[in-house]
Amino acid sequence: MIEHRTTPRSPESPDASDTLSHFRDLFHIPKKADGSPCIYLCGNSLGLQPKSVRAYVEEALADWERYAVEGHFKAKYSWMPYHELLTEQTARLVGATTNEVVVMNGLTVNLHLMLVSFYRPARERHKIVIEANAFPSDRYAVESQIRYHGLDPRTSLVELLPRPGESTIRNADIIEYIEREGSSIALVMLGGVNYYTGQVFDMKSIVRAGHAAGCVVGFDLAHAAGNIILRLHDWDVDFAVWCSYKYLNAGPGSTAGCFVHERNSTRTDMPRFAGWWGHDKKTRFQMGPDFNPIPGAEGWQLSNPAILPMAALRASMEIFDQAGMEKLLAKSVGLTGHLEAELRKNPALEILTPADPAWRGAQLSIRLLNGGRGVFNALNETGVICDWREPDVIRVAPVPLYNTYADVLQFARVVQELTGSGDPTG
C-alpha cells in the first residue's frame, strides 16, 4: 500500500494564491476509510455533490408533502415553470440567448429529438460525420437514425480518424474532409470535447466549413458544458445537447440540456417528435388536438419538468454563476498544465490529450506503457479516484471548482511510485 504524503500549502504554492479555492468548501469530498479526503479527479464522469443540493431538494420535497398536486402553482418555486429557473443560467453557460436553450430529458433522448428534426437525408446528401472513438451512445444514436431512414451505416456513417501514429484528429483534416465531401454530408455531429482523448474541437471553424458546404452542424457537449467556454449562438451552431452530471455536478442521471439556434428554433415547418409540454403555454391546458409548438428550444419539450433533479441542478448552476466560467477556465488551464508538467517527468506513460491548452479542457488522458489497469486499480485502492476507459487509458480531470494543485501533485507522485519511475519532485 502506497501512503499519501501530505503536500503542505507553502506561500509559493499555487493553491496559496488561488482566488477560487473557497469553492472547494461548497462540495462534499469523498473520504477514505481513515476519514481523510480522497483525491477526486473524476469530475468528467460524475461531478461532486454541492452541499447546497440537500436544501434545494428538501425544499421541493416539503412542497410536495404540503401541497401535493397544488405544488404546481403554490410551491415556493411553482413546478409548472420550474425549468425556467434554469434558463438564464444555462444560456450564460453555453453562450446562447434564453429562447435557444431548454433543460429537459436525458442527453441521448435530446440527441434523438434533434436528429429527428435536423437529420434530413436526401439521395445525394445523406452522410453523418462523427469523430472516430466518439462516445458510444452518440454512435448508437446516429447509426440508428440512419437505419430509421432506410439507409446503410456502411455508406452513410463517416468516422473521422487521426493520422497514423497520432491520437487526436487535426482540425485541418476535419475541414478538408467537409470541404471535399460536403455535397454528400447531411450532418456533421461531433463531440465538442472528445470523451476519450479530451481533445477540444474547433467548433467555430467546423460550423463555418459545414455551413459553407450546405451541411447541418451539431455537437454533443457532454464533456464541454461547464468545462470550456462555449459561444453557441455566435458560432452559429445549429443544435447542441449535453448532460448535467459531469462538470455540472447535478447528480447521477440528472436532467440534460438542449440548444437550438434561433434561426431554427422559431421554425414550425421542421419535423419533430412532439409532446404536450412543447405546446404553446397559453393554450396547453385547453387540451386541443393540434400541436402548436412554443417558439424556441422549449418547443422540443415532451413532458413536464422533473423537479427533484432540476432542484439539484439549480444548486450547482448557482455556484457556476458565482464563480464565472472565465475564471474557472483560467484556473483549469493552470491545474491541467501543472498536472501535465509533472506527468511528463514520468517515462512510463504518454499523454493522448493535446498539449496546447486551447485544445483541451480539464482532462488529461494517460496511456501507461505497462500494466495500466493494474496501476489504475492501485490508485483506487489508495483513495485516488479517476477513470479507466478500455482498452488502456486512465482519464484524469482536475476540476477547477473543487480540485487543488496539491491534488494533481499528489496524483503525479503516486503514479510515479506505482510505475517505479522515481519522485517527480526529486
* Digit-coded pLDDT (tens) for 308-324: 999 999 999 999 999 99
Amino acid making up residue 189: M
Q: Which pLDDT score is estimated for 424?
A: 44
- Cα–Cα nearest to 298, from 326, 262, 345, 332: 262
Q: What is the DSSP letter of 392?
A: T
pLDDT reported for residue 12: 62
pLDDT at residue 7 in the model: 42
Q: What are phi and psi of 351, to 5 degrees?
A: -105, 125
**Spatial contact of 393 and 352, defined as CB atoms under 8 Å apart:** yes
Q: How far apart are CA 297 and CA 99, in angstroms?
A: 6
Query: Any residues with CB less than 8 A from the CB of 216 and at least 6 apart, and which?
Result: 118, 119, 120, 186, 187, 188, 210, 238, 239
* CATH no., domain 57-320: 3.40.640.10
CB 137 within 8 A of CB 108: yes
Question: For position 3, what pLDDT does the model report?
Answer: 38
From first to last of its 426 residues, the chain has per-residue pLDDT tens of 333 334 444 546 788 889 999 999 999 999 999 999 999 999 999 999 999 999 999 999 999 999 999 999 999 999 999 999 999 999 999 999 999 999 999 999 999 999 999 999 999 999 999 999 999 999 999 999 999 999 999 999 999 999 999 999 999 999 999 999 999 999 999 999 999 999 999 999 999 999 999 999 999 999 999 999 999 999 999 999 999 999 999 999 999 999 999 999 777 778 999 999 999 999 999 999 999 999 999 999 999 999 999 999 999 999 999 999 999 999 999 999 999 999 999 999 999 999 999 999 999 999 998 878 999 999 999 999 999 998 889 999 999 999 999 999 999 999 999 998 654 443
Residue type, 138: D
Q: What sign does the CA torsion over 414, 420, 424, 426 have?
A: positive
Give per-residue pLDDT as tens, 151-185. Answer: 999 999 999 999 999 999 999 999 999 999 999 99
- What does the pLDDT read at residue 177? 98
Check residue 56 and give its pLDDT. Answer: 97
Determine how β-strand 239-242 pairs with β-strand 216-220. Answer: parallel
CATH architecture of 14-37+324-418: Alpha-Beta Complex (3.90)
Domain spans of the chain, in order of start: 14-37+324-418, 57-320
CA distance 345 to 356: 18
Q: Tell me the residue type at 415.
A: V
User: Cell numbers at residue 52, please?
Assistant: 447546497
Residues 245 and 251 sit within 8 Å (Cβ to Cβ): yes
